[in-house]
Amino acid sequence: MVTPQEFPISRRGLIAGGAASVAAVTVAPPLAAEATAGNAAAPPPTARVAFEVNGTPHDLELDTRTTLLDALREHLRLTGTKKGCDHGQCGACTVIVDGRRINSCLSLAVQHDGDKITTIEGLGLPGTLHPMQQAFIAHDGYQCGYCTPGQICSAVAVLGEIAAGVPSHVTADLTGAPQVTARELRERMSGNICRCGAYSNIVDAIADVAGVKA
């Protein structure tokens, strides 16, 4: 066992030693940060992607991590497509790609090379509104309006799905060809959330465009 006589240390020496240890720990992080900064200096990988958006061809050089949503909003300035949850849960970012609706926040832009993409701006603008846009206005299918672009893009694609006979859970339950009913529309539109709660009006707007009473 070591005795105090064999390992002498004064109170002053103990305090000085502790201060030196703190100084060493304090200095180390900046050195590590410099090393990390040096490694982070390399530019992120990029790739070229060419696609058609609302009938106009675009050729972009993008960070490979760029989502389709950010490519549309930040690079093409098509800000009608909204960023809501950014996790594919709300549907605010819905666009139509080659006739199919997708959540653009979950899809990388580089995956869409050669695709044809339609956003809310491509469906219609003031003065030349799409029938679905007009129906949403006529039936008050929105309140705050933030989810509306995604709702309308999804609604247009839904009628295309029903016309093409694409089944849903409701169709599977009832058997037979899908019909434009309130139940069918609610099931197919369930991925688009409206926090204002305008669901019944949205269903009425879609049914109006389809020419039926849901």
CATH code of the domain in which 184 resides: 1.10.150.120
**pLDDT at site 214:** 73
Residues 103, 129 share a domain: no
The yes-or-no verdict on residue 7 having pLDDT over 60 is no
pLDDT digits 0-9 by tens, 38-75: 566 788 899 999 999 999 999 999 999 999 999 999 99
pLDDT category at 25 given cuts 50, 70, 90 is very low
Residues 191, 160 share a domain: yes
**pLDDT at site 93:** 98
Residues 130, 118 share a domain: no
What residues make up the domain containing 66? 46-122
pLDDT digits 0-9 by tens, 192-208: 999 999 999 999 999 99
pLDDT category at 166 given cuts 50, 70, 90 is confident
**Which tokens hold the place of 139?**
């039936």
Does this model's pTM top 0.85? My answer is no
Return the DSSP state at 101.
E
Mean pLDDT computed over 185-190: 96
Residue 165: left if φ>0, alpha if ψ -120 to 50, beta else—which one? left
Phi, psi of 25 (to 5 degrees): -65, -35
**pLDDT at site 13:** 57
Cα 31 to chain centroid, rounded: 38
Q: How far apart are CA 139 and CA 52, in angstroms?
A: 32
Mean pLDDT computed over 18-47: 62
CATH number for 62:
3.10.20.30
Domain end, chosen from 122, 153, 179, is at 122
Residues 108, 158 share a domain: no
CB proximity list for 159: less than 8 A, separation 6 or greater? 180, 206, 209, 210
Assess if residue 27 is contained within a domain: no
pLDDT category at 19 given cuts 50, 70, 90 is low
Assess if residue 26 is contained within a domain: no
Other beta carbons less than 10 A from residue 206's beta carbon: 31
Check: CB of residue 159 under 8 Å from CB of residue 206.
Answer: yes
**pLDDT at site 24:** 47
Residues 202, 133 share a domain: yes
**pLDDT at site 106:** 97
Mean pLDDT computed over 5-30: 53
Assess if residue 25 is contained within a domain: no
Report the range of poorest mean pLDDT among 10-19, 130-139, 201-210: 10-19
Residue 76 amino acid letter: L
The yes-or-no verdict on residue 84 having pLDDT over 90 is yes
Mean pLDDT computed over 150-163: 96
Number of domains in the chain: 2
Looking at per-residue pLDDT, the higher value among 91 and 7 belongs to: 91
Domain end, chosen from 72, 105, 122, is at 122
